Amino acid sequence: MAFDRDISEVKNWMNLFRWVVKLIRDEYGIEEDKLTRHASIETDIGLSAEQVEEVLDIIAGSFSIQFPPGTLDELVKFEELCMLAAWLNGLYKRPEFLGDDFVARAAALNPRAQAA
């Protein structure tokens, strides 16, 4: 999957949220009205588990971040995925919904998360 979208305008977690909405809309044809903050990743968005993994890979590659193993086990809502990516990129504080073990693993992989 080729995805080359400018990230220069992504300055905070809401910009990142919008960037991910556009990614999913453009690459997977999902209507934006399904991509709400409170949409369930597993049931509301309409992506398969494999496609969600692809989205994580695209985000990771675009923002030079790493999602630890078990990332999808930590996430329920679409906004949680975006807040996590923003934190890993140093654009947002540590999301409260993350477990301590996951936080330690994620921060070890992403130095910018430690500073946020």
pLDDT in tens, 65-80: 999 999 999 999 999 9
pTM here? 0.92
Name residues whose C-beta falls within 8 Å of residue 100's C-beta, 6 or more positions apart in sequence.
none
Distances (CA, A) of 72 to 53, 76, 84, 89, 105: 8, 8, 11, 18, 14
Does pLDDT of 110 surpass 70?
A: yes
pLDDT in tens, 29-64: 999 999 999 999 999 999 999 999 999 999 999 999
The domain spans of the chain are: 40-115
